[in-house]
């Protein structure tokens, strides 16, 4: 298998896991006119990567990668999964992570079954694990011998791409402006990836209160286009 092509495939925006149906609270920000133009889109995206993803999903990604890199322990993976579930306060966000993990694992299992992926999927389906996309993505990317830096960079980029795509639909911003934002944040993603392993353990799951509140408020919006 070609690690680069595999990474491109699992990180493609049309990879059929339903990620396009989630905004992770962004729809509330747009509804309240907090995100309303190109500059506020850029500011929101940068803040999310630096102060949310870095301490949460990207950090969970790193820990899953480390568990899979040495002598694999399903017990340790379940412990990580339980911790992640406890750190994702808003119900919609936990459910989004769970649904994406299940769909991701089912799709890659249809290519070629791997023992770890199958075991994690079964644990989710039986209720032993909550299920989280960051863990599933890291597990599969590590198995496919994709480098850590490339896999985590792609994970960050996919998150950023989701934000920009949602803003293009809802704000709206032009596709050209969206591409400019994606291009302009390459250095930021590079810096975040390079320092991910240096993040203080005490900062794991650092809560972005405003983001959590917007995610919770999303459940009661009068009209909703996205699931989360």
All domains in the chain, ordered by first residue: 3-11+21-218 (1.10.4190.10)
The closest of 15, 32, 22, 10 to 171, measured between CA atoms, is 32
The angle formed by the CA atoms of residues 125, 130 and 132, to the nearest 5 degrees, is 105
At residue 13, the pLDDT reads 85
Strand, coil or helix: 173: coil
Residues 6+ apart with CB under 8 A from 220: none
DSSP label at residue 2: -
pLDDT tens per residue across span 41-83: 999 999 999 999 999 999 999 999 999 998 889 999 999 999 9
pTM greater than the 0.85 cutoff: yes
In 96-124, which positions are buried (b, 16+ CB within 10 angstroms) versus exposed (e)?
bbbbbbbbbbeebeeeeebebbebbbebb
Please state, for a pLDDT cut of 70, what percent of the chain lies above it: 100
């Amino acid at each position: 298998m070609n690690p680069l092509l595999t990474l491109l495939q699992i990180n493609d925006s049309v990879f059929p896991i339903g990620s396009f149906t989630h905004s992770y609270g962004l729809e509330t920000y747009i509804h309240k006119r907090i995100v309303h133009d190109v500059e506020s889109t850029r500011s929101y995206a940068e803040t999310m990567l630096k102060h949310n993803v870095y301490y949460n999903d990207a950090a969970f990604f790193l820990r899953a990668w480390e568990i899979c890199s040495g002598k694999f322990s399903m017990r340790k993976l379940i412990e990580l999964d339980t911790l992640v579930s406890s750190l994702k306060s808003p119900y919609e966000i936990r459910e989004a992570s769970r649904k994406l993990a299940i769909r991701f694992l089912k799709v890659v299992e249809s290519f070629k079954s791997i023992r770890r992926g199958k075991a994690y999927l079964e644990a989710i389906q039986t209720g032993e694990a909550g299920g989280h996309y960051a863990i599933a993505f890291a597990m599969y990317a590590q198995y496919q011998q994709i480098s850590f830096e490339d896999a985590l960079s792609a994970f960050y980029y996919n998150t950023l791409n989701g934000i920009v795509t949602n803003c293009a639909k809802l704000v709206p911003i032009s596709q050209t402006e969206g591409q400019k934002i994606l291009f302009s944040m390459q250095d930021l993603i590079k810096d975040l990836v390079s320092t991910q392993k240096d993040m203080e353990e005490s900062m794991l799951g650092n809560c972005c209160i405003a983001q959590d509140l917007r995610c919770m408020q999303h459940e009661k919006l009068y009209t909703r286009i996205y699931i989360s």
